[in-house]
Copies of this chain bind each other. A is one copy, B any other.
Amino acid sequence: MTNASQGWVQIVGIGPGDDALITPQVQDVLAQATDAVGYIPYVGRVAANTGLTLHPSDNRVEIDRSRHALKMAVQGRRVVVVSSGDPGVFAMAAAVFEAVENGDPAWRNLDIRVLPGITAMLAASAACGAPFGHDFCAINLSDNLKPWAVIEKRLQLAAEADFAMAFYNPRSKSRPEGFAKALKTLKAACGDNRPMIFARNVSRPDQTIKIVPLQDTTPDMADMRTVVLLGSSQTRIITRDGAPFVYTPRSVAG
Q: Which A residues are closer than 8 A to B by beta carbons?
A: 15, 18-25, 28, 62, 86-90, 93-98, 100-101, 108-109, 112-119, 122-123, 125-127, 129-140, 145-147, 150, 153-154, 157-158, 160-163, 236, 238-242, 245, 247-252, 254
A59 and B97 CA atoms in complex are apart in Å by 39
Residues of B within 8 A of A28 (CB): 20
Number of copies of this chain in the oligomer?
2
A-B contact pairs, 23 of them (CB 8 A): A24-B24, A62-B250, A86-B125, A86-B126, A88-B131, A89-B122, A90-B134, A93-B129, A93-B133, A93-B247, A94-B130, A94-B250, A95-B133, A98-B250, A108-B239, A114-B130, A117-B118, A119-B122, A132-B138, A137-B138, A145-B252, A154-B161, A154-B162
Contact residue among B93, B125, B130, B157 (Cβ-Cβ distance under 8 Å from A126)? B93
Q: Which secondary structure dominates where chain A touches chain B?
A: mixed
